[in-house]
Structures are given as structure tokens and as C-alpha cells.
Amino acid sequence: MAQKKTIRATTGEPTILIVDDHPVARAGVAAIIGAANCGRVVGHADGAKVAMEMIERLRPHLVILDLSLGDKPGLEVIKDLRAAQTDTAILVLSMHDEQIYAERAIRAGARGYVMKSQAANDIIYAIAEVLAGRVYVSHAVSSRLLSHLAGRPKAGSKLSLDRLTDRELEIFELLGQGRSVKQIARLLHLSGKTVEAHREHIKEKLDMGSSSELLRLAILSSAAGHV
């Protein structure tokens, strides 16, 4: 027998699902939401698989999503949600540099991007904006997006990591986390040869002379919060 879906209430306070693989981070976001009374947290998920199941069952108005999940990159989760044609809005709350990831997240289908280093009031405002149907990004990211749309990117604003595709950036991030080619292949459901080919493309785009040089850069970038 098919499992009966939970039907979202059309009135009352907005419902929110928090997706983050760190329990302390989930608890912190829930506390911010509770203190501000800006929604009702209906669930927590520590990975993509559980999150997708809970979204299907609970149909929350908003998902607050971290990009670094143990079982699947956050950008892929955003794309999966959009492919599922759910009307659940997505707000990314991440430690990753917004200058590198915000535009990609919005392009993938998120409605907002806020960094974990921002003040609680900024997070609350971002939640309110996304729940109201608007897009939230910081002023710096907004200016950059508008410059791109106008065809006039600011001089010197293009970061070297911007040259990477979403998939290449995911692999670069995983390399920085110390994952092996085999582990990356399993996580992204790719062959080892495909991952190695992507790694070679990344080396070329970042002008790295060797795989060890690329690995050092990936680790340094990860430690600095750039990926």
C-alpha cells in the first residue's frame, strides 16, 4: 500500500526543515528560528537521502540547507529538489564563501544564500525574505550578480575557482576534505576514470603543475573556507 502523503497546511505559521550534518549547527538554527518566532521547525535531517524523504512526507515551506553533507553535495540536492518540482523554497546556510557558491546555488534553484558567519538577525531576515517569495543574497553578491547581468563584471572580481563547473568545484571541495578518487566516485555516483578526468581539467583551469600541487591548494582552500 502506498504511503499516504502529509498535506501541507495552507494557513498558519510556515514550516521549516533544517538539513545539516552537524547536530550543533541544526540546534543553533532551530534556536534562532524559535527565538524569532519566524516559523515552526518540523524536522531535522543530517543528509540528502533523509532530507528528500522528509521533504516528500512533510512538504515544508522552507528547507534551510548546508552545502556540505556527508552523502551528497548540497548543490546536487538543490537540483534534485527542483527536478522533483516541489514548491518548497530553499535557503542555503553555509560556511562556504558566498562569492564562489552563492551564484551557483541560486542558479541551481535556491532562493537565498547566507553564510553561517553572519549575524542571527541576517539569518532571520533571509528566512523572512525567502518565505515571502523573494530572493536573498548579501549586498556584495547582489552587486556582482547585477554586474554579470549587465555584462560588466568588476575588474579583478573574477575568482580563479569561477572557472570550474559545478561538478569540478564539487570534486575540488571533496579533494580538499581528503577524499580519495575512489571515495569521490562513490559519493557522486561516477566512475573513477570520470573523476580523474575532472581532476585533470581542474588542474588545467587552475594552472596546477601536478596532482599533489592541486591537492595542497584544495586543502588550503577548504581550511580557509573558500570551498
Looking at residue 55, its pLDDT comes to 94
Q: Is 37 helix (H, G, I), strand (E, B) or coil?
A: coil
The phi and psi torsions of 95 (rounded to 5 degrees) equal -85, -10
Q: Which residues are CB-contacts of 155 (< 8 A; sequence separation ≥ 6)?
A: none
C-alpha cell at 107: 542558479
Residue 1's SS3 state is coil
For residue 157, what pLDDT is reported? 41
* CA 52 centroid distance within chain: 14
Q: What number of CA atoms fall less than 13 Å from residue 158's CA on the CB side?
A: 11
pTM, 2 dp: 0.69
Residues in the chain: 227
Nearest to 14 by CA among 91, 117, 84: 91
**Euclidean distance between CA atoms 139 and 145, whole angstroms:** 10
What percent of the chain stands above pLDDT 90?
48
How does pLDDT run across 2-29, given as a tens digit for each residue? 343 444 544 578 999 999 999 999 999 9
Listed range (153-162, 208-217, 218-227) with the worst mean pLDDT: 153-162
Categorize the per-residue pLDDT at 1 as very low, low, confident or very high, splitting at 50, 70 and 90.
very low
Q: With the C-alpha atoms ordered 96, 72, 160, 223, is the resulting torsion angle positive or negative?
A: positive
**Domains of the chain and CATH, by start:** 15-148 (3.40.50.2300), 160-223 (1.10.10.10)
Query: Is residue 71 pLDDT above 70, yes or no?
Result: yes
